[in-house]
Amino acid sequence: MSGKVQGVFFRGATRQQALSLGLAGWARNLPDGRVEVVASGEEVQMRALCDWLQVGPPHAQVIEVVCEPAEMGSLSGFEIR
């Protein structure tokens, strides 16, 4: 995600949203001010997370979200990196 996504509890809110959807993965801040989210789960829940990421938590100003499939190993839980 790009926009005002750091310093607004984006990673923590993403973790809460992902866990509520039954998804596993992680979220981390990138040096250029973006946030990267990697998640694994059922397609319907993944689409719901992608929709939520378009808005994010209060105080976030999301400009762009890129949701794309990726090959990942087995993930469990959802962590903030």
Active site residues: 11, 29
Sequence-distant (6+) residues with CB within 8 A of 50 are: 65, 67
Please give the Cα distance from 65 to 80 (Å, whole number): 18
Q: Is residue 2 a contact partner of residue 33, using CB atoms and an 8 Å limit?
A: yes
